[in-house]
A = this chain, B = another copy of it.
């Protein structure tokens, strides 16, 4: 069971590590973290980097492809023809093609979600429509072999959902217990549709600050105000 997770500079780490931690419990899972180049891939926070040992040019197939999201770096990835071509090629070999958070923007940009429902982090969700997909505010959206998940932590739910499809209920319940995934958040503020206005405003302010930091970091002061407003 070859599971390929695409990493890139500016990635949101939990988007990748959530699904990884679930899927590594699939018997015979062979998880391959891959990037454009071999070497360090830095997270959006700037506090951590992963050492990547495989480059996309050398990885030609996958049973499961996972595309994690990012605070802002996905805008850069969406413009890379090499990356989009690689995604299209791998997708031809997959049983499941999946994304977490803004990772769905890459799948949409590669033309894989045309006229399909898809989700992403709540903030850039509507941007999906610019690339042919139908933005859908749900935690997990399944369209044939394409499974997209909402923001950051939704990757854990998505991977368990996928595990259930692949291994069935018994094994998946055991994986859930191994991860002790018995979530007990103190507040019910994790869903955009039910969060109060104050929480949404505070979150948007924090995201805008992060995006500006990211823009500085990556030298991406080249986006139109309309796109920036959508994603910040």
Taking Cβ atoms with an 8 Å cutoff, the residues of A that contact B are 12-14, 17-18, 20-21, 24-25, 30-33, 40, 45, 47-51, 101, 121-122, 139-140, 150-154, 156-157, 160-161, 164, 169-192, 195-196, 198-200, 202-203, 205-207
A14 contacts B21, C-beta separation under 8 Å: yes
A153 contacts B156, C-beta separation under 8 Å: yes
Among A48, A50, A51, A202, chain B packs the most CB atoms within 10 A around the CB of A48
Quickly give the copy total for this chain.
2
B14 contacts A31, C-beta separation under 8 Å: no
Given contacts A24-B47, A48-B20, are A186 and B172 in contact (CB under 8 A)?
yes
Given contacts A21-B12, A25-B206, are A187 and B176 in contact (CB under 8 A)?
yes
Chain B residues closer than 8 Å to A187, beta-carbon distance:
160, 169, 172-173, 176
Residue of B with least CB distance to A47: B31
B139 contacts A182, C-beta separation under 8 Å: yes
Q: Which of B150, B177, B207 contacts A189 (CB 8 A)?
A: B177
Chain B residues closer than 8 Å to A40, beta-carbon distance:
51
Q: Which of B161, B171, B175, B183 contacts A156 (CB 8 A)?
A: B183
Q: CA of A153 to CA of B199 in the docked complex: distance in angstroms?
A: 24
> Could you tell me the distance in whole angstroms from the C-beta of A131 to the nearest C-beta in chain B?
20
Chain B residues closer than 8 Å to A195, beta-carbon distance:
173, 177
